[in-house]
């Protein structure tokens, strides 16, 4: 994951200034095309589906324990990423914020999400945007950890697939 964000807030008695440094919009859109299937339940590469396969097919108890820890980390990232964001008294999780952007802006035209995003004050919008982008960054790190773990498990012969030749699955 090659992008970073920085959200700087400067408070003065007379005003509050928010400055969100983020990647260029075309770079975000391009990355989201690859990222989205990993968090979409209907996709073959949905992270929970991948973790389930690993849990079922790994021979190593140690690796199965690693999968359990990764699953816990993923669930934490979906629920909380260092900021507790509330709007109109309602808690919004990082995953919900991400869905607002994916379904309201990037991939669908969900009018309710669009209305919510457009109606936010600038500071509020910057916070939600950084919340969303931090979710993408944190989840991408988890995807990388999973990919490395799967690669290692294949290299070490730690998967046991019924009726399949493991050598043919690793290519």
**Mean predicted lDDT score pLDDT of the chain:** 92
114-131 average pLDDT score: 94
How does residue 165 score in pLDDT terms, banded at 50, 70 and 90? low
Q: Is 3 strand, coil or helix?
A: coil
Is 107 domain-assigned? yes
pLDDT at 53: 96
Is 13 domain-assigned? no
Quick: pLDDT tens for 57-110: 999 999 999 999 999 999 999 999 888 889 989 999 999 999 999 999 999 999
pLDDT at 82: 84
pLDDT at 3: 82
Is 1 domain-assigned? no
Q: Which domain holds residue 107?
A: 24-166
Is 146 domain-assigned? yes
Quick: pLDDT tens for 133-161: 999 999 999 999 999 999 999 999 999 98
DSSP 78-141: HH-SS--EEETTEEE-HHHHHHHHIIIIIS---HHHHHHHHTS-HHHHHHHHHHHHHHHHHHHH
DSSP category for residue 70? H
Is 76 domain-assigned? yes
Is 140 domain-assigned? yes
Is 115 domain-assigned? yes
Q: Number of folded domains in the chain?
A: 1
Residue 34 neighbours by CB under 8 Å, 6+ apart: none
1-7 average pLDDT score: 82
Residue 160, H or E segment:
none
pTM of the full structure: 0.89
């Amino acid at each position: 994951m090659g992008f970073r964000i920085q959200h700087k807030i400067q408070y003065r008695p007379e005003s509050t200034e928010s400055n969100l440094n983020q990647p260029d919009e075309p770079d975000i859109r391009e990355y989201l095309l690859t990222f989205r299937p990993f968090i979409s339940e209907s996709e073959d590469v949905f992270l929970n589906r991948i973790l389930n396969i690993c849990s079922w097919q790994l021979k190593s108890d140690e690796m199965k324990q690693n999968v359990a820890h990764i699953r816990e980390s993923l669930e934490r990232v979906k629920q909380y990423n260092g900021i507790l964001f509330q709007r109109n008294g309602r808690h919004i999780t990082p995953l919900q914020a991400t869905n607002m952007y994916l379904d309201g802006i990037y991939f669908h035209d969900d009018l309710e999400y669009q209305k919510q995003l457009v109606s936010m004050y600038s500071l509020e919008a910057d916070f939600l945007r950084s919340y969303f982008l931090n979710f993408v960054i944190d989840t991408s790190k988890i995807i990388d950890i999973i990919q490395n773990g799967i690669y290692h498990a294949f290299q070490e012969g730690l998967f046991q697939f019924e009726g399949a030749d493991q050598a043919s699955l690793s290519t």
